[in-house]
Protein backbone atom coordinates (compact mmCIF):
# COMPACT_ATOMS: atom_id res chain seq x y z
CA UNK A 1 0.00 0.00 0.00
CA UNK A 2 2.82 2.43 0.74
CA UNK A 3 5.78 3.31 -1.46
CA UNK A 4 8.27 3.65 1.38
CA UNK A 5 8.61 0.88 3.99
CA UNK A 6 9.34 1.25 7.67
CA UNK A 7 11.44 -1.90 8.07
CA UNK A 8 10.97 -5.48 7.03
CA UNK A 9 10.57 -6.39 10.70
CA UNK A 10 7.61 -4.13 11.48
CA UNK A 11 5.81 -3.90 8.15
CA UNK A 12 3.37 -6.54 9.37
CA UNK A 13 2.72 -4.44 12.46
CA UNK A 14 2.12 -1.37 10.29
CA UNK A 15 -0.32 -3.27 8.08
CA UNK A 16 -2.15 -4.55 11.18
CA UNK A 17 -2.75 -1.07 12.65
CA UNK A 18 -3.92 0.13 9.24
CA UNK A 19 -6.44 -2.70 9.09
CA UNK A 20 -7.69 -1.78 12.56
CA UNK A 21 -8.10 1.86 11.54
CA UNK A 22 -9.96 0.87 8.38
CA UNK A 23 -12.26 -1.42 10.36
CA UNK A 24 -13.15 1.53 12.60
CA UNK A 25 -13.81 3.64 9.49
CA UNK A 26 -16.35 1.08 8.26
CA UNK A 27 -18.29 1.42 11.53
CA UNK A 28 -17.89 5.19 11.55
CA UNK A 29 -19.29 5.60 8.04
CA UNK A 30 -22.14 3.20 8.85
CA UNK A 31 -23.15 5.58 11.66
CA UNK A 32 -22.77 8.52 9.26
CA UNK A 33 -25.10 6.75 6.83
CA UNK A 34 -27.77 6.46 9.51
CA UNK A 35 -27.36 10.16 10.35
CA UNK A 36 -27.61 11.10 6.66
CA UNK A 37 -30.84 9.14 6.47
CA UNK A 38 -32.10 10.87 9.60
CA UNK A 39 -31.57 14.27 7.96
CA UNK A 40 -33.13 13.34 4.63
CA UNK A 41 -36.00 10.88 4.93
CA UNK A 42 -36.27 9.05 8.25
CA UNK A 43 -39.83 8.76 9.60
CA UNK A 44 -40.38 11.16 12.48
CA UNK A 45 -41.24 8.46 15.00
CA UNK A 46 -38.04 6.54 14.24
CA UNK A 47 -35.89 9.15 16.00
CA UNK A 48 -35.55 7.49 19.41
CA UNK A 49 -34.38 4.16 18.04
CA UNK A 50 -32.10 5.88 15.53
CA UNK A 51 -30.26 7.48 18.45
CA UNK A 52 -29.69 4.02 19.94
CA UNK A 53 -28.41 2.68 16.61
CA UNK A 54 -25.95 5.52 16.12
CA UNK A 55 -24.75 5.37 19.73
CA UNK A 56 -24.08 1.63 19.41
CA UNK A 57 -21.96 2.17 16.30
CA UNK A 58 -20.08 5.15 17.77
CA UNK A 59 -19.33 3.08 20.88
CA UNK A 60 -17.91 0.28 18.76
CA UNK A 61 -15.74 2.74 16.83
CA UNK A 62 -14.42 4.07 20.14
CA UNK A 63 -13.69 0.54 21.39
CA UNK A 64 -11.68 -0.28 18.26
CA UNK A 65 -9.77 3.00 18.34
CA UNK A 66 -8.81 2.69 22.01
CA UNK A 67 -7.74 -0.96 22.08
CA UNK A 68 -4.53 -1.15 24.14
CA UNK A 69 -2.73 -3.52 21.75
CA UNK A 70 -3.49 -1.12 18.89
CA UNK A 71 -2.09 1.77 20.94
CA UNK A 72 1.04 -0.17 21.92
CA UNK A 73 1.71 -1.05 18.29
CA UNK A 74 1.37 2.57 17.25
CA UNK A 75 3.75 3.69 20.00
CA UNK A 76 6.35 1.14 18.88
CA UNK A 77 5.99 2.17 15.26
CA UNK A 78 6.27 5.88 16.06
CA UNK A 79 9.51 5.24 17.94
CA UNK A 80 10.99 3.91 14.69
CA UNK A 81 10.14 6.76 12.35
CA UNK A 82 13.37 8.74 12.61
CA UNK A 83 14.64 7.70 9.17
CA UNK A 84 11.43 8.61 7.33
CA UNK A 85 10.28 11.88 5.84
CA UNK A 86 7.75 13.15 8.43
CA UNK A 87 5.36 14.10 5.60
CA UNK A 88 5.51 10.68 3.97
CA UNK A 89 2.43 8.50 3.88
CA UNK A 90 3.82 5.95 6.32
CA UNK A 91 5.14 8.43 8.87
CA UNK A 92 1.96 10.50 8.68
CA UNK A 93 -0.21 7.42 9.12
CA UNK A 94 1.61 6.30 12.26
CA UNK A 95 1.93 9.78 13.76
CA UNK A 96 -1.68 10.83 13.17
CA UNK A 97 -3.22 7.48 14.19
CA UNK A 98 -1.20 7.56 17.39
CA UNK A 99 -2.28 11.13 18.03
CA UNK A 100 -5.91 10.08 17.53
CA UNK A 101 -5.43 7.10 19.83
CA UNK A 102 -4.01 9.24 22.62
CA UNK A 103 -6.95 11.63 22.33
CA UNK A 104 -9.58 8.89 22.15
CA UNK A 105 -8.26 6.83 25.05
CA UNK A 106 -8.82 9.74 27.43
CA UNK A 107 -12.56 9.59 26.77
CA UNK A 108 -14.53 7.09 28.89
CA UNK A 109 -16.68 4.70 26.85
CA UNK A 110 -19.79 5.72 28.81
CA UNK A 111 -19.21 9.37 27.93
CA UNK A 112 -18.79 8.54 24.24
CA UNK A 113 -22.07 6.63 24.20
CA UNK A 114 -23.94 9.27 26.19
CA UNK A 115 -22.66 12.01 23.90
CA UNK A 116 -23.70 10.07 20.81
CA UNK A 117 -27.19 9.64 22.19
CA UNK A 118 -27.44 13.27 23.27
CA UNK A 119 -26.28 14.70 19.97
CA UNK A 120 -28.57 12.58 17.80
CA UNK A 121 -31.47 13.52 20.06
CA UNK A 122 -30.18 17.10 20.10
CA UNK A 123 -30.40 17.38 16.33
CA UNK A 124 -33.95 16.06 16.44
CA UNK A 125 -34.87 18.53 19.20
CA UNK A 126 -33.22 21.38 17.29
CA UNK A 127 -35.17 20.60 14.14
CA UNK A 128 -38.47 20.54 16.03
CA UNK A 129 -37.64 23.71 17.97
CA UNK A 130 -36.65 25.57 14.82
CA UNK A 131 -39.89 24.62 13.10
CA UNK A 132 -41.80 25.81 16.19
CA UNK A 133 -39.65 28.98 16.46
CA UNK A 134 -39.17 28.13 20.13
CA UNK A 135 -35.81 28.04 21.89
CA UNK A 136 -37.51 26.71 25.04
CA UNK A 137 -38.01 23.37 23.24
CA UNK A 138 -34.26 23.14 22.68
CA UNK A 139 -33.06 24.49 26.01
CA UNK A 140 -32.81 21.21 27.95
CA UNK A 141 -31.18 19.16 25.15
CA UNK A 142 -28.65 21.95 24.61
CA UNK A 143 -27.88 22.23 28.33
CA UNK A 144 -27.24 18.46 28.44
CA UNK A 145 -24.95 18.60 25.40
CA UNK A 146 -22.95 21.50 26.85
CA UNK A 147 -22.52 19.65 30.15
CA UNK A 148 -21.24 16.59 28.29
CA UNK A 149 -18.94 18.65 26.06
CA UNK A 150 -17.41 20.26 29.15
CA UNK A 151 -16.81 16.77 30.54
CA UNK A 152 -15.24 15.76 27.24
CA UNK A 153 -12.99 18.83 27.23
CA UNK A 154 -11.93 18.19 30.84
CA UNK A 155 -10.92 14.64 29.92
CA UNK A 156 -8.82 15.98 27.05
CA UNK A 157 -7.21 18.83 29.00
CA UNK A 158 -3.85 17.19 29.68
CA UNK A 159 -2.07 20.55 29.37
CA UNK A 160 -3.27 23.17 31.85
CA UNK A 161 -2.27 25.89 29.39
CA UNK A 162 -4.97 24.69 26.97
CA UNK A 163 -8.45 26.09 27.57
CA UNK A 164 -11.47 23.80 27.63
CA UNK A 165 -12.56 25.36 24.35
CA UNK A 166 -9.19 24.61 22.71
CA UNK A 167 -9.55 20.95 23.70
CA UNK A 168 -12.75 20.83 21.64
CA UNK A 169 -11.34 22.94 18.81
CA UNK A 170 -8.50 20.42 18.47
CA UNK A 171 -10.89 17.87 16.96
CA UNK A 172 -11.60 20.14 14.00
CA UNK A 173 -8.47 22.26 13.71
CA UNK A 174 -5.46 20.42 15.20
CA UNK A 175 -3.22 22.80 17.11
CA UNK A 176 -5.80 25.57 17.04
CA UNK A 177 -5.26 28.34 19.59
CA UNK A 178 -8.15 30.37 21.00
CA UNK A 179 -6.06 33.51 21.53
CA UNK A 180 -4.54 33.30 18.06
CA UNK A 181 -8.04 33.00 16.59
CA UNK A 182 -9.13 36.10 18.49
CA UNK A 183 -6.16 38.06 17.15
CA UNK A 184 -6.71 36.88 13.56
CA UNK A 185 -10.43 37.61 13.74
CA UNK A 186 -9.72 41.10 15.12
CA UNK A 187 -7.29 41.79 12.26
CA UNK A 188 -9.96 40.68 9.81
CA UNK A 189 -12.91 42.41 11.48
CA UNK A 190 -11.53 45.95 11.36
CA UNK A 191 -11.13 46.26 7.56
CA UNK A 192 -14.37 44.34 6.97
CA UNK A 193 -16.41 46.70 9.14
CA UNK A 194 -14.92 49.69 7.30
CA UNK A 195 -15.62 48.10 3.90
CA UNK A 196 -19.22 47.24 4.83
CA UNK A 197 -19.83 50.78 6.08
CA UNK A 198 -18.50 52.27 2.83
CA UNK A 199 -20.68 49.93 0.78
CA UNK A 200 -23.79 50.87 2.73
CA UNK A 201 -23.12 54.53 1.99
CA UNK A 202 -22.58 53.96 -1.73
CA UNK A 203 -25.20 55.18 -4.23
CA UNK A 204 -24.39 52.23 -6.50
CA UNK A 205 -26.60 49.45 -5.09
CA UNK A 206 -27.50 46.27 -7.00
CA UNK A 207 -30.87 45.35 -8.47
CA UNK A 208 -31.76 42.04 -6.76
CA UNK A 209 -34.73 41.07 -8.94
CA UNK A 210 -32.57 38.61 -10.90
CA UNK A 211 -31.87 36.54 -7.79
CA UNK A 212 -35.29 37.00 -6.20
CA UNK A 213 -37.20 35.41 -9.07
CA UNK A 214 -39.53 33.75 -8.37
CA UNK A 215 -38.05 30.60 -9.90
CA UNK A 216 -39.55 27.13 -9.82
CA UNK A 217 -37.84 24.74 -7.44
CA UNK A 218 -37.62 22.05 -10.12
CA UNK A 219 -35.77 24.42 -12.47
CA UNK A 220 -33.38 25.35 -9.69
CA UNK A 221 -32.70 21.67 -9.01
CA UNK A 222 -31.79 21.12 -12.66
CA UNK A 223 -29.52 24.19 -12.66
CA UNK A 224 -27.74 23.18 -9.46
CA UNK A 225 -27.02 19.66 -10.68
CA UNK A 226 -25.77 21.06 -14.00
CA UNK A 227 -23.38 23.44 -12.23
CA UNK A 228 -22.08 20.82 -9.78
CA UNK A 229 -21.40 18.42 -12.64
CA UNK A 230 -19.73 21.13 -14.72
CA UNK A 231 -17.23 22.12 -12.04
CA UNK A 232 -16.24 18.49 -11.50
CA UNK A 233 -18.42 16.79 -8.88
CA UNK A 234 -18.60 13.14 -9.93
CA UNK A 235 -22.21 11.96 -9.73
CA UNK A 236 -21.09 8.35 -10.20
CA UNK A 237 -19.41 8.72 -6.80
CA UNK A 238 -21.93 11.00 -5.13
CA UNK A 239 -25.39 12.54 -5.15
CA UNK A 240 -27.19 15.81 -4.45
CA UNK A 241 -30.19 15.85 -2.11
CA UNK A 242 -32.16 18.35 -0.03
CA UNK A 243 -32.38 18.97 3.70
CA UNK A 244 -33.23 21.68 6.23
CA UNK A 245 -29.56 22.63 6.72
CA UNK A 246 -27.04 22.07 3.86
CA UNK A 247 -24.13 19.72 4.53
CA UNK A 248 -21.78 17.17 2.98
CA UNK A 249 -21.03 13.74 4.37
CA UNK A 250 -18.79 10.90 3.24
CA UNK A 251 -20.23 7.41 3.48
CA UNK A 252 -17.35 5.67 1.69
CA UNK A 253 -14.52 6.39 -0.75
CA UNK A 254 -17.00 6.42 -3.63
CA UNK A 255 -20.10 7.63 -1.81
CA UNK A 256 -20.13 11.37 -1.18
CA UNK A 257 -23.48 12.93 -0.29
CA UNK A 258 -24.05 16.68 -0.70
CA UNK A 259 -27.24 18.38 0.42
CA UNK A 260 -28.69 21.82 -0.20
CA UNK A 261 -32.00 23.64 0.12
CA UNK A 262 -33.96 25.77 -2.34
CA UNK A 263 -36.03 28.93 -2.00
CA UNK A 264 -38.46 29.99 -4.71
CA UNK A 265 -37.68 33.66 -4.02
CA UNK A 266 -33.92 33.48 -3.48
CA UNK A 267 -31.87 31.83 -6.22
CA UNK A 268 -28.63 32.25 -4.29
CA UNK A 269 -29.77 29.88 -1.54
CA UNK A 270 -29.91 26.73 -3.65
CA UNK A 271 -27.28 27.59 -6.25
CA UNK A 272 -24.53 28.78 -3.93
CA UNK A 273 -25.44 26.16 -1.35
CA UNK A 274 -24.94 23.53 -4.05
CA UNK A 275 -21.64 25.05 -5.16
CA UNK A 276 -20.48 25.19 -1.56
CA UNK A 277 -21.31 21.58 -0.78
CA UNK A 278 -19.93 20.41 -4.13
CA UNK A 279 -16.63 22.03 -3.12
CA UNK A 280 -16.64 19.90 0.02
CA UNK A 281 -17.62 16.88 -2.04
CA UNK A 282 -14.85 17.33 -4.62
CA UNK A 283 -12.28 17.53 -1.82
CA UNK A 284 -13.53 14.18 -0.54
CA UNK A 285 -13.52 12.75 -4.06
CA UNK A 286 -9.99 14.10 -4.56
CA UNK A 287 -8.58 12.27 -1.55
CA UNK A 288 -6.76 9.05 -2.34
CA UNK A 289 -9.34 6.26 -2.18
CA UNK A 290 -6.74 3.54 -1.56
CA UNK A 291 -5.93 5.27 1.75
CA UNK A 292 -9.56 5.71 2.81
CA UNK A 293 -9.92 5.47 6.59
CA UNK A 294 -6.25 6.38 7.08
CA UNK A 295 -4.62 9.82 7.47
CA UNK A 296 -3.27 10.14 3.89
CA UNK A 297 -6.84 9.58 2.66
CA UNK A 298 -8.43 12.00 5.15
CA UNK A 299 -8.84 15.78 5.05
CA UNK A 300 -6.16 17.95 6.65
CA UNK A 301 -8.52 19.96 8.86
CA UNK A 302 -11.99 21.45 8.71
CA UNK A 303 -10.45 24.83 7.95
CA UNK A 304 -8.87 23.35 4.82
CA UNK A 305 -12.13 21.53 4.04
CA UNK A 306 -14.04 24.79 4.28
CA UNK A 307 -11.51 26.49 2.02
CA UNK A 308 -12.51 24.13 -0.77
CA UNK A 309 -16.22 24.84 -0.44
CA UNK A 310 -15.76 28.60 -0.12
CA UNK A 311 -13.35 28.74 -3.06
CA UNK A 312 -15.88 27.18 -5.44
CA UNK A 313 -18.80 29.11 -3.97
CA UNK A 314 -17.13 32.51 -3.87
CA UNK A 315 -13.88 32.97 -5.76
CA UNK A 316 -15.31 30.96 -8.65
CA UNK A 317 -19.10 31.13 -8.29
CA UNK A 318 -19.37 34.85 -7.62
CA UNK A 319 -16.84 35.86 -10.25
CA UNK A 320 -17.79 37.77 -13.37
CA UNK A 321 -16.13 35.07 -15.51
CA UNK A 322 -18.28 32.33 -14.00
CA UNK A 323 -21.47 34.22 -14.81
CA UNK A 324 -20.20 35.00 -18.30
CA UNK A 325 -20.35 31.23 -18.82
CA UNK A 326 -23.47 30.43 -16.76
CA UNK A 327 -25.86 33.32 -17.42
CA UNK A 328 -27.08 32.30 -20.89
CA UNK A 329 -27.72 28.72 -19.74
CA UNK A 330 -29.31 29.77 -16.44
CA UNK A 331 -31.59 32.19 -18.28
CA UNK A 332 -32.82 29.39 -20.52
CA UNK A 333 -33.39 27.06 -17.59
CA UNK A 334 -35.07 29.53 -15.23
CA UNK A 335 -36.67 32.11 -17.50
CA UNK A 336 -37.53 35.65 -16.43
CA UNK A 337 -36.30 37.84 -14.87
CA UNK A 338 -32.89 36.13 -15.19
CA UNK A 339 -33.26 35.65 -18.95
CA UNK A 340 -33.27 39.40 -19.59
CA UNK A 341 -30.58 40.23 -16.99
CA UNK A 342 -27.20 41.35 -18.31
CA UNK A 343 -23.82 40.20 -17.05
CA UNK A 344 -23.00 43.31 -15.02
CA UNK A 345 -26.39 43.18 -13.27
CA UNK A 346 -26.14 39.56 -12.22
CA UNK A 347 -22.51 39.94 -11.17
CA UNK A 348 -23.43 42.81 -8.87
CA UNK A 349 -26.55 41.01 -7.60
CA UNK A 350 -24.70 37.84 -6.53
CA UNK A 351 -22.13 40.04 -4.78
CA UNK A 352 -24.68 42.20 -2.97
CA UNK A 353 -23.53 43.18 0.51
CA UNK A 354 -26.30 43.57 3.03
CA UNK A 355 -26.34 42.61 6.71
CA UNK A 356 -28.66 39.63 7.17
CA UNK A 357 -29.70 37.20 9.87
CA UNK A 358 -28.89 33.89 8.18
CA UNK A 359 -25.25 32.79 8.11
CA UNK A 360 -25.47 30.32 5.22
CA UNK A 361 -27.00 32.99 3.00
CA UNK A 362 -24.71 35.83 4.08
CA UNK A 363 -22.56 37.73 1.59
CA UNK A 364 -18.79 37.41 1.62
CA UNK A 365 -18.15 40.66 3.47
CA UNK A 366 -20.55 40.10 6.38
CA UNK A 367 -20.17 36.32 6.62
CA UNK A 368 -17.22 36.37 8.98
CA UNK A 369 -19.06 38.64 11.40
CA UNK A 370 -21.60 35.83 11.78
CA UNK A 371 -18.77 33.43 12.61
CA UNK A 372 -17.11 35.76 15.13
CA UNK A 373 -20.43 36.07 17.00
CA UNK A 374 -20.79 32.28 17.21
CA UNK A 375 -17.16 31.80 18.20
CA UNK A 376 -17.46 34.30 21.07
CA UNK A 377 -20.74 32.82 22.31
CA UNK A 378 -19.65 29.19 22.27
CA UNK A 379 -16.39 30.05 24.03
CA UNK A 380 -18.44 31.76 26.74
CA UNK A 381 -20.83 28.81 26.98
CA UNK A 382 -18.04 26.25 27.42
CA UNK A 383 -16.04 28.37 29.85
CA UNK A 384 -19.17 29.11 31.93
CA UNK A 385 -19.26 32.85 31.27
CA UNK A 386 -22.66 32.51 29.59
CA UNK A 387 -25.60 30.39 30.73
CA UNK A 388 -27.98 28.58 28.39
CA UNK A 389 -30.95 30.67 29.52
CA UNK A 390 -29.01 33.82 28.58
CA UNK A 391 -28.10 32.61 25.10
CA UNK A 392 -31.06 33.95 23.02
CA UNK A 393 -30.72 37.46 24.44
CA UNK A 394 -26.95 37.40 24.06
CA UNK A 395 -27.34 36.26 20.44
CA UNK A 396 -29.86 38.98 19.62
CA UNK A 397 -27.75 41.66 21.29
CA UNK A 398 -24.66 40.70 19.30
CA UNK A 399 -26.57 40.76 16.01
CA UNK A 400 -27.87 44.20 16.83
CA UNK A 401 -24.46 45.56 17.81
CA UNK A 402 -22.35 43.81 15.14
CA UNK A 403 -24.68 43.74 12.12
CA UNK A 404 -27.27 46.38 12.97
CA UNK A 405 -30.21 43.97 12.77
CA UNK A 406 -32.15 41.99 15.34
CA UNK A 407 -33.69 38.53 14.85
CA UNK A 408 -37.47 38.50 14.69
CA UNK A 409 -37.62 35.12 16.44
CA UNK A 410 -35.55 32.14 17.53
CA UNK A 411 -35.74 30.38 14.13
CA UNK A 412 -33.80 33.15 12.36
CA UNK A 413 -31.75 33.77 15.48
CA UNK A 414 -30.19 31.37 17.92
CA UNK A 415 -31.80 28.29 16.30
CA UNK A 416 -30.65 28.84 12.73
CA UNK A 417 -27.65 26.46 12.88
CA UNK A 418 -27.69 22.74 13.69
CA UNK A 419 -24.11 22.68 15.05
CA UNK A 420 -24.70 22.99 18.79
CA UNK A 421 -27.49 20.43 18.67
CA UNK A 422 -25.03 18.06 16.98
CA UNK A 423 -22.35 18.77 19.61
CA UNK A 424 -20.08 20.46 17.05
CA UNK A 425 -18.63 23.00 19.47
CA UNK A 426 -15.33 24.37 18.22
CA UNK A 427 -16.43 23.91 14.61
CA UNK A 428 -17.54 27.47 13.79
CA UNK A 429 -14.06 29.12 13.66
CA UNK A 430 -13.08 26.76 10.84
CA UNK A 431 -15.50 28.58 8.53
CA UNK A 432 -13.53 31.82 8.77
CA UNK A 433 -10.23 29.93 8.60
CA UNK A 434 -11.60 28.39 5.41
CA UNK A 435 -12.34 31.84 3.98
CA UNK A 436 -8.78 32.96 4.73
CA UNK A 437 -7.27 29.84 3.16
CA UNK A 438 -9.54 29.95 0.09
CA UNK A 439 -8.29 33.43 -0.78
CA UNK A 440 -4.66 32.38 -0.41
CA UNK A 441 -5.10 29.23 -2.46
CA UNK A 442 -7.00 30.95 -5.23
CA UNK A 443 -4.41 33.72 -5.42
CA UNK A 444 -1.73 31.03 -5.86
CA UNK A 445 -3.81 29.20 -8.46
CA UNK A 446 -4.20 32.40 -10.50
CA UNK A 447 -0.43 32.88 -10.49
CA UNK A 448 0.26 29.30 -11.55
CA UNK A 449 -2.58 28.90 -14.09
CA UNK A 450 -1.97 31.93 -16.29
CA UNK A 451 -5.27 31.82 -18.19
CA UNK A 452 -7.49 30.68 -15.31
CA UNK A 453 -9.99 33.54 -15.70
CA UNK A 454 -10.36 32.83 -19.42
CA UNK A 455 -10.92 29.13 -18.73
CA UNK A 456 -13.67 29.86 -16.21
CA UNK A 457 -15.37 32.25 -18.64
CA UNK A 458 -15.56 29.30 -21.07
CA UNK A 459 -16.88 26.90 -18.44
CA UNK A 460 -13.60 24.99 -18.27
CA UNK A 461 -12.90 24.04 -14.65
CA UNK A 462 -10.71 20.96 -14.96
CA UNK A 463 -7.38 22.80 -14.68
CA UNK A 464 -8.39 24.43 -11.40
CA UNK A 465 -9.74 21.18 -10.00
CA UNK A 466 -6.58 19.33 -11.01
CA UNK A 467 -4.46 22.06 -9.39
CA UNK A 468 -6.42 21.68 -6.14
CA UNK A 469 -6.15 17.89 -6.29
CA UNK A 470 -2.37 18.07 -6.72
CA UNK A 471 -1.71 20.84 -4.20
CA UNK A 472 -4.34 20.15 -1.53
CA UNK A 473 -6.42 16.99 -1.88
CA UNK A 474 -3.81 14.30 -2.44
CA UNK A 475 -1.80 15.33 0.65
CA UNK A 476 -4.56 14.33 3.07
CA UNK A 477 -3.39 14.67 6.67
CA UNK A 478 0.28 14.48 5.75
CA UNK A 479 0.23 18.27 6.32
CA UNK A 480 -1.55 20.31 8.94
CA UNK A 481 -3.47 23.33 7.66
CA UNK A 482 -0.73 25.92 8.21
CA UNK A 483 2.08 23.85 6.67
CA UNK A 484 -0.14 22.97 3.71
CA UNK A 485 -0.99 26.62 3.04
CA UNK A 486 2.64 27.59 3.50
CA UNK A 487 3.76 24.94 1.02
CA UNK A 488 1.28 26.15 -1.60
CA UNK A 489 1.32 29.93 -1.10
CA UNK A 490 4.72 30.58 0.47
CA UNK A 491 3.25 32.04 3.67
CA UNK A 492 1.26 30.93 6.68
CA UNK A 493 -2.45 31.58 7.06
CA UNK A 494 -3.07 35.33 6.84
CA UNK A 495 -6.05 37.69 6.72
CA UNK A 496 -4.48 39.91 4.04
CA UNK A 497 -5.27 37.93 0.84
CA UNK A 498 -8.96 37.72 1.79
CA UNK A 499 -9.18 41.42 2.60
CA UNK A 500 -7.39 42.34 -0.64
CA UNK A 501 -9.68 40.06 -2.67
CA UNK A 502 -12.86 41.49 -1.15
CA UNK A 503 -11.75 45.09 -1.42
CA UNK A 504 -10.65 44.71 -5.04
CA UNK A 505 -13.95 43.19 -6.12
CA UNK A 506 -16.42 45.10 -3.97
CA UNK A 507 -14.88 48.55 -4.23
CA UNK A 508 -15.09 48.22 -8.01
CA UNK A 509 -18.70 47.02 -7.94
CA UNK A 510 -19.85 49.69 -5.50
CA UNK A 511 -17.74 52.54 -6.88
CA UNK A 512 -15.91 53.29 -3.63
DSSP string, 416-474: S-STTTTT-TT-THHHHHHHHHHHHHHHHHHHHSTTHHHHHHTT--HHHHHHHHHHTGG
DSSP state of 265: T
Residue of 277, 321, 345, 378 with catalytic role: 277
Are 226 and 159 part of one and the same domain? no
142 and 290 housed in the same domain: no
Number of domain units in the chain = 2
CA 505 to chain centre: 24
Does residue 215 have a pLDDT over 60?
yes
Domain boundary among 169, 189, 217: 169
Range 246-268 burial, b when 16+ CB lie within 10 A, else e: bbbbbbbbebbbbbbbbbeebbb
Summarised one tens digit per residue, pLDDT across range 256-297 is 999 999 999 999 999 999 999 999 999 999 999 999 999 999
Q: In which element (H, E) is residue 243 found?
A: none
pLDDT tens for residues 323-372? 999 999 999 999 999 999 999 999 999 999 999 999 988 999 999 999 99
Within 8 A by CB and 6+ apart from 470, the residues are none
Question: Looking at the structure, do residues 103 and 199 belong to the same domain, yes or no?
Answer: no
Residue 501 pLDDT exceeds 80: yes
Which of 113, 147, 169 is the last residue in one of the domains? 169
* Within-domain flag for 4: no
pLDDT of 360 reads 85
Going by pLDDT thresholds of 50, 70 and 90, the confidence category of residue 3 is very low
Mean pLDDT value of segment 301-317: 98
Q: Does the annotation mark 466 as catalytic?
A: no
Average pLDDT over residues 482-502: 95
| 3 state SS of 86 | coil
Whether residue 380 is found in the same domain as residue 496: yes
Are residues 230 and 156 located together in one domain of the fold?
no
Tell me if 5 is assigned to some domain. no
- Which whole number is the average pLDDT over 6-33? 90
Q: Do residues 245 and 359 both lie within one domain?
A: yes
Q: What is the distance, to the nearest Å, from the Cα of residue 329 to the centroid of all Cα atoms in its chain? A: 29
Strand-strand pairing, 255-260 and 238-242: parallel
Could you report how far apart the first and last alpha carbons of the chain are, in Å? 56
The CA distance from 506 to 351, in Å, is: 8
The band of 161, judged by pLDDT with boundaries at 50, 70 and 90, is confident
Full residue range of the structural domain in which residue 229 is found: 178-510
Instruction: Summarize the confidence of residues 2-13 as an average pLDDT.
Output: 65
Quick one: what percent of the chain has pLDDT higher than 70? 98
Spatial separation of the C-alpha atoms in residues 245 and 484, rounded to whole Å? 30
Residue 413 has pLDDT above 90, yes or no: yes
CATH of the domain at 348: 1.10.1370.30
Final residue in a domain of this structure, among 115, 143, 169: 169
CA Rg value for the chain: 23
pLDDT at 32 over 50: yes
Residue 437 pLDDT level (bands cut at 50, 70, 90): very high
CA distance 446 to 175: 29
**64 and 133: one domain?**
yes
Examine the domain organization and report whether 213 and 269 are in the same domain.
yes
What confidence score (pLDDT) does residue 1 get?
Answer: 45
Q: For residue 160, how many other CB atoms are within 10 A of its CB?
A: 6
Specify which residues 248 forms β-bridges with.
258
Band (pLDDT 50/70/90 cuts) for residue 4 is low
Residue 3 lies in a domain: no
Lowest mean pLDDT across 9-13, 126-130, 311-315, 372-376: 9-13
Same-domain status, 210 and 161: no
Instruction: Note whether 161 and 220 are same-domain residues.
Output: no
Mean pLDDT confidence for 456-465: 98
Band the pLDDT of 9: cuts 50, 70, 90: very low
Average pLDDT over residues 445-471: 97
Task: Identify whether residues 280 and 428 lie together within a single domain.
Answer: yes
Same domain, yes or no: 286 and 374: yes
* Tens of pLDDT, residues 44-63: 899 999 999 999 999 999 99
Average pLDDT across the chain, whole number = 95
Amino acid sequence: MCEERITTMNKAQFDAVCETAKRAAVMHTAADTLEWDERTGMPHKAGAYRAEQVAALRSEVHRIRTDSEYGDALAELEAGLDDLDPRSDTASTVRELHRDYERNRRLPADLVRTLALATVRGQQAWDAAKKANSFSQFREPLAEILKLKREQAACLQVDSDRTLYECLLEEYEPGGCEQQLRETFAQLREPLVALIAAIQQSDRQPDLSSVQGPYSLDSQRVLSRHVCEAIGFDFERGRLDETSHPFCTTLGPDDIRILTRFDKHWLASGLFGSLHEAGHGMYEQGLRADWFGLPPGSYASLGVHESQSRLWENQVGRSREFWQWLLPQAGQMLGEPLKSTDLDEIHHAVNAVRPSLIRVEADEATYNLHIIIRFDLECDLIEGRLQVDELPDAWNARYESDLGIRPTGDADGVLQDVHWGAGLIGYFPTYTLGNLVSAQLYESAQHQISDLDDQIAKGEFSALLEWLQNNVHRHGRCHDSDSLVRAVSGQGISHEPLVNYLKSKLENLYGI
